[in-house]
Amino acid sequence: MKAKHRKKRRPTIRRDDTVIVISGKDKGRTGRVVSVDWKRERMLIEGVNIVTRHTKPNQANQQGGLIQMESPVHYSNVQLYNPNLKRGVRVRIQKSDGGIKNRVCVKSGEILG
């Protein structure tokens, strides 16, 4: 059987963007994107999707015990946050007259950072 090929989605979310989680246990939370892994289609967001790890004592952490850390979130569960509308928005890529590509809010038409 042949594997179905999906069209790769153009990355509209980058590092240091503010995003809002639109589904899952952290729905409604906003945070800054720390890192993006487009191969796995996941991103690490500051203060979102906190998981608890049980760790043994080692050289780096001599105490051991429970450590809370952020875990990556799939890109389909987040949207770029528009501070003027105070909500998540869909993004369109638009070329300006000078040939520069900008991310534009679909709803309001304003250019997002």
Give the mean model confidence (pLDDT) for residues 10-38.
92
If 0-12 CB within 10 Å is exposed, 13-18 middle and 19+ buried, where does residue 78 land?
Answer: buried
At 32-88, the pLDDT tens digits run 999 999 889 999 999 999 999 999 998 988 888 998 999 999 999 999 999 999 999
C-alpha span between 28 and 104 (Å, rounded): 22
Class of domain 18-58+65-112: mainly beta
50-55 and 101-105 beta bridge pairing: unpaired
C-alpha span between 78 and 43 (Å, rounded): 9
The DSSP H or E segment spanning 31 is strand 30-37
pLDDT band of 9, cuts 50, 70, 90 = low
Q: Given the structure tokens 């638009």, which residue do they identify? A: 94
Residue 18 pLDDT greater than 90, yes or no: yes
